[in-house]
Structure 1
Amino acid sequence: MNKRKLRNLEVNPIGVGCMGFSHGYGEIPSEEYSIQAIQKAQAVHPLSAIQNIYSMVERSCEEEVIPYCMEHNIALVPFSPIASGLLSGKVNTSTDFSHNDDVRKFVPQLKKENLEANQPLIQLIETYAKAKNATDAQIALAWMLHKYPNVVPIPGSKNQERILENLAAWDVILTDEEFNDLDKALEQLPVQGFRGHVEFQGGTMADWGKRK
């Protein structure tokens, strides 16, 4: 997998870092607002990268934000590219998120009813993971890296095993045919518990646990 360019800086295609919370503790902006914010920042100084939530199940930024970034040579740094563990296949209805420092207890996609409803998506990823001798999380990252040349995901990890697993995703190569089949299948699957601005516009992380 080729390295990515952040203007004059060459980086690995998968970043090593903690999960970003740039939208976590304030209002979640609309797509139109996001473009306006980027344009306003660009007027002050050229941007090398912006950070946004993006994954197989959070794809609203594909409509305007990513095309705008590609047109203006701006990298996109997706936080939560594995959807807080949903796309890893390791989270189930018995997983305990009750710890005080675990933000996943507020993520709508990880509620029991949504975990159950999103199983067809997990099963689809598992099919590709078995075929490529990879993990589910690696398939989710490989899909993202194949789709856009300006994307540098930063999956959150709390242990060395997960960090190494995520980094190894750049060795998982999807052919154009495999990618196209996977992407088309994803477009046909409904996602329950959407986390982005379409459902929660104007909400904050503090509100998430109160939403039904």
Structure 2
Amino acid sequence: MKKRFIGKLEVSPIGMGCMGFSHGYGKIPEKQYSIEAIRKAYAFGCTFFDTAEVYGNELYWEGHNEEILGEAVESFRKNIVIATKLHIHDEEVTPNMDLYHLIKSHLEKSLKRLRTDYVDLYYLHRVNEFVPVEDVAYVMGKLIDEGLIKGWGLSQVDVDTLDKAHRVTPVTAVQNLYNILERDCDDEIFPYCIEKNIGVVPFSPIASGFLSGKITAKTEFEKVDDVRKFVPQLTKENIEGNQPIVNILQNYAKKKKATPAQISLAWMLKKYPNVVPIPGSKNQERIIENLSAWDIELTDEEFYELQSALDKCEIYGHRGIVETQQKIFSNHWKK
């Protein structure tokens, strides 16, 4: 396993998205199972763990996910990189607000839940249309100077927003939606980030499980707290339309003695040097399977053949990367 860099942060080439332990994929596991899953991932070699202050659901509280991660990693915290995310609530935005103290108060609560005195990577979860991103960038710079965070990032943004922020305080990472079915970042985000030494951290790199080949048009998602019901590619019609892509991945999986999910991650790692995907799962076996993709290396010939085959496929369903806080949360998204 060769380590990668997100800005100056050294991490395993694949990280772990922890959201599923608190929210998003139906019934959550027992707390001890989740803690054990995180510790097994670390023992396997994962050194990059992603959470957010809002990860919870109707049954659990804001900060639930941070608390689980904090307890799980406390004994080896100094050996890993922790990323969490700031959500500025609309009701907190007032004409006379002190943005520095507002953001710092959020961070301090996250630090307490994570059982640490610093966060390696602190994202703005979504751009709030009423808070200039340049102002957030300035505050993040002050928090870096104070040693409370090592770097900062943005999630679900286009290159214009990224550039505005980067000009104020250099951005460490962009966490955008990116996978074989969602490749908007190819156009401008990756070129900009490579030029500026910014890491790209794709969430949903296996397209909410679709690229694993385990989801079919007959798949029934859980009725309560399952974001997959809102994923454009996971309507029955789009699942059927995108099946040729899964077939291609399955063919390569057989050749490489891997799984389709691992091939989709290996494709991503081969494509860009600054990419560190964070697949999320609440299943311990799937977590280790996903991390194992860092041992699967596509040759140049295999990559170009795979890329060529994928480029010939029409993609059905599109979510995109430009999402403001108002849009994303009004539509029940939290990732």
How high is the TM-score relative to the length of structure 1?
0.86
Which structure 2 residues correspond to residues 1-212 of structure 1 after superposition, within 5 A?
1-18=1-18, 22=125, 34-196=158-320, 204=328, 206-207=330-331
Paired letter, 1:52: N
Given that residues 25 and 204 in structure 1 are in contact (C-alpha distance below 8 angstroms), is that contact kept between their aligned partners in structure 2?
no
- Structure 2 CA distance, aligned partners of 1:59 and 1:48? 21
Q: How many residues align?
A: 200
Residues 42 and 106 (structure 1), Cα distance of their counterparts in 2 relative to 1, 3 Å cut: same
SS of 1:10 mapped into structure 2: strand
Residues 122 and 24 (structure 1), Cα distance of their counterparts in 2 relative to 1, 3 Å cut: farther
- Aligned-pair distance for 1:48? 1.4
- Structure 1 CA distance, aligned partners of 2:203 and 2:183? 12
- Structure 2 CA distance, aligned partners of 1:114 and 1:206? 23
- Structure 2 CA distance, aligned partners of 1:46 and 1:3? 22
Paired letter, 1:185: A
SS of 2:201 mapped into structure 1: strand
SS of 2:174 mapped into structure 1: strand
Given that residues 4 and 10 in structure 2 are in contact (C-alpha distance below 8 angstroms), is that contact kept between their aligned partners in structure 1?
yes
- Structure 1 CA distance, aligned partners of 2:287 and 2:127? 23
- Structure 1 CA distance, aligned partners of 2:262 and 2:128? 28
- Structure 1 CA distance, aligned partners of 2:304 and 2:329? 34
Structure 1: runs of 5+ lacking an equivalent: 27-32
- Structure 2 CA distance, aligned partners of 1:37 and 1:24? 9
**RMSD over aligned Cα, in angstroms?**
2.4
- Aligned-pair distance for 1:39? 1.4
- Aligned-pair distance for 1:180? 0.4
How high is the TM-score relative to the length of structure 2?
0.56
- Aligned-pair distance for 1:50? 1.0
Paired letter, 2:306: L
Given that residues 25 and 206 in structure 1 are in contact (C-alpha distance below 8 angstroms), is that contact kept between their aligned partners in structure 2?
no
- Structure 1 CA distance, aligned partners of 2:126 and 2:265? 21
Residues 6 and 197 (structure 1), Cα distance of their counterparts in 2 relative to 1, 3 Å cut: closer
Paired letter, 2:245: L
- Structure 1 CA distance, aligned partners of 2:127 and 2:239? 21
- Structure 1 CA distance, aligned partners of 2:211 and 2:184? 17
- Structure 2 CA distance, aligned partners of 1:205 and 1:177? 42
Given that residues 76 and 151 in structure 1 are in contact (C-alpha distance below 8 angstroms), is that contact kept between their aligned partners in structure 2?
yes
The equivalent of 1:29 in structure 2 is: none
Deviations 1:139-190 (A, max 9, x none): 0000000000000000111111111000000011100000000011111100
Deviations 1:46-103 (A, max 9, x none): 1111110000110011000110000000000000000001101011122221321110
- Structure 1 CA distance, aligned partners of 2:7 and 2:267? 23
- Structure 2 CA distance, aligned partners of 1:49 and 1:184? 28
Paired letter, 1:146: K
- Aligned-pair distance for 1:25? 10
- Structure 2 CA distance, aligned partners of 1:150 and 1:48? 11
Q: Quick check: 15-24 or 174-183, which moved more?
A: 15-24
- Aligned-pair distance for 1:108? 1.3
- Structure 1 CA distance, aligned partners of 2:185 and 2:320? 10
